[in-house]
A and B are shown apart, each in its own frame.
Chain A
């Protein structure tokens, strides 16, 4: 039996390969943003694309997020498939008007005549010691906007598979890239093209029967670590990776919770108005009679993203997750 050389690849390299494969497969795919050309992106996700495909296919734009996305709208109107890089989460806010008023609504406003197949790549979240305005978790803003798909991979394989799906989608996709996972590694078989993952399907990353941790993006590795630690306490946790906030995979999530009877939603963004509240409500509505305890949320605090020297207190870690799991041994107060 011959063994294929399997080499490790990082999350960022998987994204890079997804962009390269998409550009090679379809001349309509154009990458644009700040520093994406010669520099290859501040996280090197677009490394080598300008050299391989030319400046017209991988374009360094002026420094203006609304302008980047606004011109991408026009390019999509003319049949291109722009992939836009917003350099950091909090720098994407100037483009919000374009996202909400045009990108999300154009298909609807034109009764399907003018779909905008734009992929908006947003490096998001903290944990890398970024200074202020470099670590926001902005997913709730996008998820609250009808017309957008909101996708966030947590594994190297999904980084590739979901980005390919996002670029191929005829709908606009906000593609949230967890910054602290850019350098995470997995094995990679160069002989086999990685799998393209359809958007909208959650997956159980670990199976267990005591309770379900529902999570996505940067919090997945933390939840898997927490699940290992909980094993020692006699808790066998299932970990569900949502992968997509919109559309939301109620079926996979609720099938798990109905089996375990207990659930904790874990994410990095603030708790109030964050995706956890919505997810907890959905799970409660659909699984009420199966629940042994209220659905709990473990999120960041409801504070502006803290300075790097204090961010470890803000980010939900293993202890905070295990505390929540302990609280799932619910006893009604008299």
Chain B
């Protein structure tokens, strides 16, 4: 017998580390996105919840159209509209308790506003100011995050710290489909699963990362499937079905709070507007696709259910619309006032106390401003 033949005959028992450590089946998402609206399950939905979701959706849509209008007037430097995705935004806010934390990305102003952040302050960064506007601790909303997916490990760390301190706080972190390709997405999910941190990751899969469609972003069966490799459950949900997103997120938040660890939720939705006002969406997608999604509008889906159950009469519909209009009018009026800017603020919060070098530069700026005033 040759040495190779001897080796071929050698069949040792695999070491323990080679054994599968977990049955992946319970972690796998369903093949189809979970839906409630338009199915028989919707009949069991709490009428008050349906009405709350509806009011928030209408208000959110109006916020999006008003903010977009403000970009045309030059009052906002940029606005990434979430029109079409309002169900995800609203459900994210409503799934959390007051003590929980929300980690939004740059498109998630609505979720922040739905959580109580002042509508004008939520736009501070987007209007071109240097700071985030709101106090993150006031409503437990982290600053809107512009770099992609980098806020996800923050959510993991915060949730982990809360658990270490014995607080039953959950962090919900939002990211887009494009963000799932970033390394920070991978690292955040891995840390969360290893630490069993009370975190929920909500991926709003709106079909495009600016112009690049999902098929060029990932080869996975779905983004929710990515969860299995980290050892956490993946859930796939219809992102335009506010009731379904709310139910899935509420479940995931409860699971995390009870010590069950993280969940990855993929909400399949669609961005009806361009990436931002600076983008031309007609270059990368056709009208037919947009129209198909218009038929699946998150507000229409809820209104249909409310109407079927006799929960939305005309006075109520008008009340909701008037409230949204009043919010928009206030937003418009306040955004049309020039913000008070103080150049000294540029140096005030770089360090706890300015370095000697910053104090010198601040003095230089003061001299420049004085010279400017003298010339005027």
Contacts and interface: CB of A to CB of B under 8 A. Distances in A.
A18 to B, nearest CB: 20
Interface stretch (A70-78, A177-185, A209-217, A222-230): A70-78
B137 A61 contact: no
B161 A78 contact: yes
Contacts of B143: 106, 109-110, 114
B164 A110 contact: no
Nearest to B142: A77
A112 interface: yes
A66 B158 contact: no
B293 interface: no
A74 B187 contact: no
Contact of B150 (A101, A113, A250): A101
A248 B357 contact: yes
B357 A74 contact: no
Interface in B115-164: 125, 130-132, 135-137, 142-143, 147, 150, 152-162, 164
B183 A102 contact: no
A147 interface: yes
B65 interface: no
Given A80-B161, A171-B352, A247-B356, A108 B131 contact: yes
Contact of A98 (B125, B153, B355, B356): B153
B325 interface: no
Nearest to A59: B195
Given A75-B160, A110-B136, A111-B131, A70 B184 contact: yes
B190 A67 contact: yes
5 contacts: A74-B155, A75-B160, A170-B352, A247-B355, A248-B356
A28 B152 CA distance: 22
A67 B195 CA distance: 12
A187 B137 CA distance: 46
Contact of B131 (A109, A115, A149, A248): A109
Contact of A74 (B131, B156, B350, B355): B156
B153 A66 contact: yes
Contacts of B157: 70-78, 82
A101 B158 CA distance: 18
Nearest to B167: A78
Given A71-B153, A74-B157, A247-B355, A108 B350 contact: yes
Pick from B132, B142, B156, B157 the residue with the most CB of A within 10 Å: B157
Pick from A62, A67, A73 the residue with the most CB of B within 10 Å: A67
Nearest to A104: B350
A115 B352 CA distance: 8
Contacts of B369: none
A287 B302 CA distance: 73
Contacts of B165: 78-79
A8 to B, nearest CB: 35
B349 interface: yes
B121 to A, nearest CB: 11
Interface string B178-202: 0000011001101100100000000
Nearest to B137: A113
Contacts, number: 138
A193 interface: no
B154 A77 contact: yes
Contacts of A74: 153-161, 171
A190 interface: no
A75 B137 CA distance: 14
A247 B350 CA distance: 12
Interface string A59-94: 001101011011111111111101000000000001
Contacts of B190: 62, 64, 67
B358 to A, nearest CB: 8
A14 to B, nearest CB: 25
B339 to A, nearest CB: 13
Contacts of B156: 70-71, 74
Contacts of B351: 107, 147, 149, 171
Contacts of A247: 355-357
A66 B186 CA distance: 10
B153 A73 contact: yes
A221 interface: no
A52 interface: no
B251 interface: no
A113 B356 contact: no
B160 A66 contact: no
Nearest to B152: A70
A200 B355 contact: yes
Interface in A99-154: 101-102, 106-115, 146-147, 149
B304 interface: no
B112 to A, nearest CB: 14
Given A64-B191, A97-B150, A147-B351, 18 more contacts: A61-B191, A62-B187, A62-B190, A67-B188, A67-B190, A70-B157, A72-B157, A73-B153, A76-B157, A79-B161, A80-B164, A107-B351, A110-B131, A110-B136, A146-B350, A149-B351, A247-B355, A247-B356
Interface string A264-293: 000000000000000000000000000000
Contacts of A248: 355-357
Given A70-B153, A102-B154, A108-B349, A78 B162 contact: yes
Nearest to A32: B157
